[in-house]
Every structure is written in structure tokens, then in C-alpha cells.
Amino acid sequence: MTLKTLGTALLAAGLLTSVGLAQAETVRWARSADVTTLDPHVFNTGTNFVLMHQMYETLVNRSADGKLVPTLALSWKMTSDPTVWEFKLRPNVKFHDGTPFTAKDVVFSLNRAKGPNAQVKSLLASMEEVKALDDLTVQVKTKGPNLIFPDNLTNLFIMSEKWSKANGAADTQDAASKTENGATRAENGTGPYVLASREVDSKTVMKLNPNYWGKGQAPLQVTELVFLPIKSPATRVAALLSGEVDFAQDIPAQDVARLKQDSKLRINEGPENRSIFLAMNVSVPELKSSNVKGKNPFADLKVRQAVELAIDRDAIKRSVMRGLSIPTGMMAPSFVNGYDKAMAAYPKADVAKSKALLAEAGYPNGFTVTLHSPNDRYVNDEAISTAVAGFLGRVGIKTEVSSRPIAQHSVAIVKAESDFYLYGWGVPTYDSAYIFDFLVASRGKEGRGAQNATGYSNAELDNKIISLSSESDKAKRDATIKDIWQTVNKERFYIPLHDQVIHFASVKKINVPVHPDNAIHFKDVKFVK
Amino acid sequence: MLVHLLRRLGQSVLVLLAVSFISFMVFRHIGDPTISLLGEDATLEEREALTEELGFNKSVPLQYLHYVGKVLQGDLGISYRLKRPVADIIFERLPATLELALTAAFFALAIGIVLGVYTALRKDGFLSRAIMTVSLVGVSLPTFLIGIGLIYLFAVELRWLPSFGRGETVNIGGWETGLLTSSGLAALIMPAITLGFYNMTLIMRLVRAEMLEVLRSDYIRFGRARGLKERDLYFGHALRNTLIPVITIAGLQIGSLIAFAIVTETVFQWPGVGLLFISSIQGVDVPLIAAYLMFIALLYVVINLFVDFLYVLVDPRLRRATP
């Protein structure tokens, strides 16, 4: 190349860059917490997943209406053997470092995500083996037929085998390891954005991937993405009002009404994939926090029904949630497989009937109990508990609220130390089995029931729950789900209160649709002229 | 003198051990790290296995001895939350906190002394009384309210200053500084005022009281009788004598500025060790919390040792009194 052509090339490159700059559309995106590590398999938390989705990709993904959409897999089907799923991969995809994406990377990533130190391994509990048939075909063998296996893959990110091994990131780190691994602070995904810089708790900058396979398929209008964690809710809202950020998540409920009135802002709203409920310990012979000795009032179904009838869900929505909740009688949001409108109907609060039931159960004067509540996890969690205590007081159940950070609350749940508690649950698989496995199955049965601190145990129900993981007939499986829900709703050891509502606040010029998982795919975000 | 210092050194080591032990006892009540490490949907078996592996099933004194043993070998462990070596993380975040604390200290000292002298000299003036009243309000307002108030006024309404973050930083020999860029300086103003406000009022009141005291003393009156200029009297003689206790207090307060930067850093998303500490508590990141508490204790101990040492240098009586 002569000097002259080199000069021309440089000039052209310069011109191209300036053209690129003229079209650059930056979105500054704020939310309450930073991701902890960039290693996509270490933690099973929504906050981490949302950021990962910009840089890494999964085989399948979930659209805002809850449907599975092809991503790195073009198609998937159950083979003639019902325990084997086959995925056809997208050709001509490259990782950010230029290495081509192949079936080997999928095999590597799924095995890595199933490793002992990967939190996401619970999503792959049913995977027996994964193997590559050719460069673009992967087969997964499951332990028994698993109808919903692909639903588990929406947050299982695909890493490059070559890159991971070269950077000491072949496995996720264990808690005691002496050094960090190569994926903690760097990424090499196939996604629409490439990491440009990262400062923990401060900012993470991502640039549009110039070689992204989805050019022409997705709008890709956001060319630069700046992720800004802002812990203090007041500061986060202030940053949006002052124009320092363009889009904010985790908006405090009390600010939503005010932000909606701001003509410079756009507030999008939609149901979240998370139900909030009360849980009662039905199995201990005597409650720790109650004045009733020698027996457990919650063991009596009449008492549990009385508790439900004392609670005014509409009042909680109106006064505590400022209208921002969806009251329900079922512990599953509407887009979860198994949701039933009839079962989600809830009774109106009825003090007289509640008192009558308590008297029938032998507690005409009520009893005392402590309600354990988190205070930093769900929307207005502590205020909901305080309201519940007020409602129960009306029927004679003197309830003391004991609130604590989720870090302590969840310990008590795992150890089943509470008599009565507020809790919430999201369903990443969009299938009721995920709720049953953790909240309904007997504690400790085949690794299930880890979050069931109610002590409720029903062998017949357990068998039905276990059967869901290997039932290959969809109609039969759905019937079993319905059957389980009927028992759960009748037994009332959980009292569903409401589903949370998500708010996305942005400047007028961008429109970010609300996703039930609080997820955003910035490649799909469009600027409004 | 050597004995005196050695004894103080011994006491400091005891303080550090006590702090580390107390913080270790506290860990039992902040939650279970296995939940943040494994996630909410881990099985009970997985939890038990990890508890075993990390030694959380051992008695607290045993866990503590194990920890102290590792720290003495220079191993602070890996952060559970960030999956990186704790020492690296703390040293990366320290510059932000130090710059904030020192700027706040400078602001508190400069404004505090000026206002203190002014309110002492114009004791009954309208402006003086107004300053004193405002300072009372300032002392009783919590830090986060001052911060949010400033953000509302200067970021949301006037749009002069950024509401969060540190602005652009420049790396100089491993030290990330925001002091050399205009956005970095702009970002520093509100957090520094917020953090330094309490100390500013404290210094102002101290200077005022000392100054009033000194102005009443004989040598000022003699000086005035000899016909010295008021300016020389106030700033040459009175102020110099006023400043000795102020400097002592200010020195000790620097430690507290660093330690109490937690609230200010949270309000302004200032990426220092205080914000790191709060995030670590929420994530039950035991190795990081332990290291931070030890660090703050060490800081206090070193500052106190330094002050003691200065006393010995300055005051000859101390040198003689020690055997």
C-alpha cells in the first residue's frame, strides 16, 4: 500500500467515524444495584441477568409477552426419544473476539453452568448430558421426559470454550478460591453490545457490536449503553429528573404518580413475574411467638381461612401500594403456565365471618403471633406487613411485625424458623412446577421444598409434583398442575396477596416496553422521533 | 519516651484484635452468606455442604482464630459478592473516599475558621446571629437530608452540578483521581459539603468560643493598651492561639470523616469504600465487611498514635514524665 492510499484509507476511516458519531445514540441506564460479577453463571439474580443479556446471549429468549423466541438456537424440538431435546444453532455467529460460535461452545457452557459453584445449576437440574452432533446441532438428554426444558434456558448464557479456557475461566469460581477468574471483569459473548469499560458500583459502558449477527433483524438504534447503578432511590429519581440518566428501573412506588405528571418523562407499566404472599407454619406443635400453648392455631384450616378473610387486599393496593399492585388469590402471575382465573379470584374482607371462623376453631378472643417481614426486598414489604397486622388486629389476632433485611429473613425461611412470614416468589420458567418444587413440596424431599418453611407436607401432592418433571404428555401434565393448585388453594397455608407491578421511567424520546422479568433488551429499544 | 510509644503500640494491637473479634461476633447476625453464594433456589444439601466448606459450622472463636491466622499471612480472602481479592477491591476504592474526606476536611476547616472568627469578632451582629442559627439547624439535620436537599436544588432545579457519581477520573500512578477533571471537581462539590457540614459547624463553634476566650485574655488587652492595630491583634495574636486546639480536633475528625462517609457515599453514589461497605452488608460479603472494619480500626489507631507522638514532640513535660 502506498503512502497515498494509506492516507486516503485513514481519511475514509476518519470520515466514517465522524458519521458514526453523528448517529450515535447513547442511553444512560440507572438502576438500584450493580451486577456483582460479569461471569454469567456465578449468581442466579435478575440484576446480573439483565446486564448479561446485552453482552452475552442464550439459546432461547423470552419476549415481553412471555413467549420463547429463537436466539442462538434457531429451532428446538423434542426428538422421538422424549428424554432428548435437539437444538439447531444459528450459523455465522461470532464471539466478540472473532472466534466462531459452534455447538462445542454450547456443550461447554451448559456443563460450566451445571458446575458445583454455579448458582444457575438449579435451572439445569434435569439435564443429564449435553452433546454436539455436528457444528450446529446440540442434543440434551434429560432425566426423564422434560416438556419445559427449553424454558429453563432463557438465562443460561453461552460462553466461548476457547476464550474461557485461555482466561482461566473454565469453571465458575468457588467461594474459597484464592484468585479471581478471567470472566469476572471481562466478557466475550455473542451479544449486541461489547464491554468498553467497567467500574464496579460506578458505571459500565457498552458499545454496539459492529459484527452482530442480528443486523437488520433488530433495530439496534442504541449505539452506546451506559449502565449506572444508583443505590439511593431519591438520587436515582433526581438523576432522571435532572436529565443525567435517560432510563431508570426500580422506581419507588411513592414517586410514580409524580413522575407520570412530568411531561418530559415516559412511564411504562406492566405486571411483574413475582407474587407476594403470607405463609403460615402449619406443622410445628406449638408456635414460638404465640400465647396459645400446647397447640398450633395455624394447623387449623378454619384459622387460616379466618386470616385470609380478615385481610383487605384492595385496601393494601389502595393505601400501601398506591394502586401499583394486582391483588390475587393465587401464588402465580397470569402468564405462568397453570394460572387459573377462577382460582385467582379472592374473597372480600369479611370481619364478621372471620371472627365466626376463629370462634368455631376455638379462638373466640384470637391469639398473638409475630409476623416476620423483609424490609428491603419487595415493593413496600414492611408497610404491607404493618397493614396485615392491622387487619388481623380487627379480628383479635394480635400481630407483632418483626422486620429485617432480606439477608436475615431468607436465612430464617431456609431454616424454617418463622411462625408467620411475608415472602415473594418469581417464576423464571413461567411454569407452575417451579413454584411447587420450591414452595409446596415437602421440605427436603428429593432436594425439593427448600423454601417451604410452612412445614406443609402431603405425600400424595409430593408424588404429583415429582411426576411433573417427567411427564411428556402436555395435556396430562397441565391437568396435574391444575389438580395441585386446587389442593394448594384449598389448604390455604399460603395466602397470596398480590403480584407486583413494574415501572420503567425514561425520557420521552425512548420507549422501553415492560418485561415481566424486569429484563430489557436494548437491541430492541427504539427512539421515538 | 520509647517505652511510652511501645506501650501505646501494644494497646493499639489490643484494640485491633478487639474490633476484629466484635465484628466477627456481629457476622452471626447479619445473615447467612450461603444464601447469597448459592441463591434462593439452592437445595438444603447444597447449603449444608457449603456451610461445611466455609467452616461456618465451627464455633465462632475457632472461625475467628482461623481468620486472624490468614490475615496475619496477608490473606484477606476473596469477596463473596464481587469474586475478587478483598485487598485489591479496597485499595481500588480508597482514593475516592480519601479525596472526598480530605476535600470535606479542607472545606470544614477553611469555612469553619473564617465563620468562627467572623462570628467571634462581630459577636452581636445580625449576620453572626443568623450564621449561628443556621449552623444549629445544620447540626440537627441528618446527613442524607442535607445531601438530598442539595441534589434537589443544584442538580434537579438549577442543573449546575451532577447528582451522583464521581465524574471523569484520571489514573496517575495507580491512583484514580477526580481532582484533575472539571466533571470530577463538579461531582466533588456537593458530597464534600454534605460530608463536611457537621464538622464545619463544629469547627466554627470551637473557633468562636476559643477566640472569644482569647480576646478576653490579658495579653490582648495589654496589646490593645500598647496601641497595636486591631488587625494584628486579631489575626497575628488571637487567631494563632485559637488554632492549636482546633488543629487537634480537626486531625482526629479526619478519621471520622472517612468512616462516616458511608451515608454521603450512598446518597451520591460516590464509589468509595463506604458505598462498598453498605453493598457488602446487603450481600453478606463477610470477607469484605471484616476487612473494612479492620481497616477503619487501623485508621483510628494510626491517627491516634500519630497524635500521641506529636504531643510527645510538642510537649516536653510528657517526655520527662515517662519513666
Min distance A113 CA to chain B CA atoms (Å): 13
Lowest mean pLDDT among A128-142, A434-448, B20-34: B20-34
Q: Write the CB contacts of B28 (distance below 8 Å, at least 6 apart in sequence).
A: B60
A447 and B44 within 8 Å at the Cβ level: the answer is yes
pLDDT band at A422 (very low <50, low <70, confident <90, very high): very high
> In 3D, which of B47, B48, B54, B89 has the Cα closest to residue B70?
B54
Question: For A428, which residue in chain B has the nearest alpha carbon?
Answer: B41
Report in angstroms the alpha-carbon separations of A453 from A33, A371, A415, A465.
28, 13, 7, 17
Q: What is the pLDDT of residue A65?
A: 85
User: Which chain A residues have a beta carbon less than 8 Å from that of B44?
Assistant: 414, 443-444, 447, 450
Cβ pair B188, B178 in contact under 8 A: yes
pLDDT at B316 (0 to 100): 65
pLDDT surpasses 50 at B180: yes
Interface of A with B in 243-262 (CB under 8 A): 243-244
Predicted confidence (pLDDT) at residue B296 exceeds the cutoff of 70: yes
**Which residues in chain B are contacts of A451 at CB distance < 8 A?**
40-41
Instruction: Decide which of A293 and A407 is more confident.
Output: A293
pLDDT given for residue B218 in this prediction: 87
Q: Which amino acid is at A112?
A: R
Q: Nearest-CA distance from B266 to chain A in Å?
A: 6
Q: What pLDDT, in 10s, does the model give residues B74-108?
A: 888 888 888 899 999 999 999 999 999 999 999 99
pLDDT band, residue A56 (cuts 50/70/90):
very high
Evaluate whether A500 touches A426 at the Cβ level (below 8 Å).
Answer: no
The one-character DSSP state at A26 is E
Rounded to an integer, what distance in angstroms lies between the CA atom of residue A165 and that of residue A158?
14
User: Of residues A180 and A332, which shows the higher confidence score?
Assistant: A332
Burial class (CB in 10 A: 0-12, 13-18, 19+), A182: middle
| Spatial contact of B281 and A243, defined as CB atoms under 8 Å apart | no
Q: Residue A236: its chain B contacts at CB < 8 A?
A: 164
- Residue A82: pLDDT over 90: yes
Q: Looking at the complex, does the CB of residue A238 fall below 8 Å from at least one CB of chain B?
A: yes
Contact assessment for residue B301 and residue B12, using Cβ atoms and an 8 Å cutoff: yes
Q: What is the DSSP letter of A205?
A: E
Please give the torsion angle defined by the CA atoms of residues B29, B33, B34 and B35, in that order, rounded to the nearest 10 degrees.
80
Report angle CA B134, B135, B141 to the nearest 5 degrees. 90
The predicted model scores a pTM of 0.88
Q: What residue type is assigned to position A314 of the chain?
A: D
Report DSSP state, residue A524: G
What is the per-residue pLDDT for A96? Answer: 97
> Tens digits of per-residue pLDDT, A500-519?
999 999 999 999 999 999 99
What pLDDT, on a 0 to 100 scale, did the predictor assign at position A435? 96
Radius of gyration of chain B (CA): 24
pLDDT surpasses 60 at A16: no
Output the pLDDT for position B123.
86
End-to-end CA, chain B: 8
Residue B151: list chain A partners with CB under 8 A: 234-235, 238
Model pLDDT, residue B321: 53
Three-state helix/strand/coil letters over A115-183:
CCCCHHHHHHCCEEEEEEEECCEEEEEECCCCCCHHHHHHHCECCCHHHHHHCCCCCCCCCCCCCCCCC
Whether the Cβ atoms of residue A484 and residue A440 lie closer than 8 Å to each other: yes
Q: Give the highest mean pLDDT range of A35-39, B11-15, B138-142.
A: A35-39
Better-predicted residue by pLDDT, B27 or A140: A140
pLDDT digits (tens, 9 = 90+) for A237-275: 999 999 999 999 999 988 999 999 999 999 999 999 999
- If one compares B319 and B77, the residue with the highest pLDDT of the two is B77
Smallest CA-to-CA distance from A333 within A271, A269, A268, A377 is with A271
Measured in angstroms, the CA of A262 and the nearest CA of chain B are apart by 13
Q: Which residues of B touch A34 (CB under 8 A)?
A: 279
Sorting pLDDT into bands at 50, 70 and 90, what band is A23? Answer: low
- Chain A residues closer than 8 Å to B37 by CB: 119, 175
Is the pLDDT confidence value at A7 over 60? Answer: no
Write the pLDDT tens digit of every residue in B182-202.
999 999 999 999 999 999 998
Does B38 sit within 8 Å of A244, measured CB to CB? Answer: no
What are the grid coordinates assigned to B244, written together? Answer: 492549636
Enter the C-alpha cell of residue A527.
Answer: 427512539
Separation between Cα atoms, residue A69 and residue A217, nearest integer Å? 13
Distance (Å, rounded) from C-alpha A194 to C-alpha A190? 9
- The C-alpha of B147 sits at a distance from chain A's nearest C-alpha, in angstroms, of 9
Cβ atoms of residues B273 and B97 within 8 Å: yes
Residue matched to cell numbers 482466561: A167
Decide if pLDDT at B269 tops 80.
yes
| Residue appearing with cell numbers 487501623 | B298
Largest Cα–Cα separation, chain B = 88
Please give the average per-residue pLDDT across A220-224, as a whole number: 95
Per-residue pLDDT, averaged over A197-223, amounts to 94
A125 pLDDT band, cuts 50/70/90, is confident
pLDDT at site A117: 83
Q: A376 and B162 in contact by Cβ < 8 A?
A: no
Between positions 444 and 473 of A, the ones with CB within 8 A of B are 444, 447-448, 450-451
- With a pLDDT cut of 90, the percent of chain B lying above it is 35
Task: Tell me what the pLDDT averaged over chain A comes to.
Answer: 92
Contact A484, A432 (CB under 8 A): yes
Give the mean pLDDT of A411-430: 91
Its ipTM equals 0.85
Does the beta-carbon distance from A243 to B151 stay under 8 Å?
no
pLDDT score of A89 more than 90? yes
Minimum mean pLDDT range among A327-341, B135-149, B295-309: B295-309
Closest-CA distance of chain B to residue A102, Å: 29
Q: In chain A, pLDDT over 90 holds for what percent of residues?
A: 82
Residue A252 near residue A237, CB atoms below 8 Å:
yes
Closest B-chain CA to A446: B43
What residues of chain B lie within 8 A of the CB of A232, using their CB? 144, 266-269
Residue from A255, A375, A411, A425 to probe the interface with B (highest B Cβ count within 10 Å): A411
Return the number of other C-beta atoms located less than 10 Å from residue A41's C-beta.
29
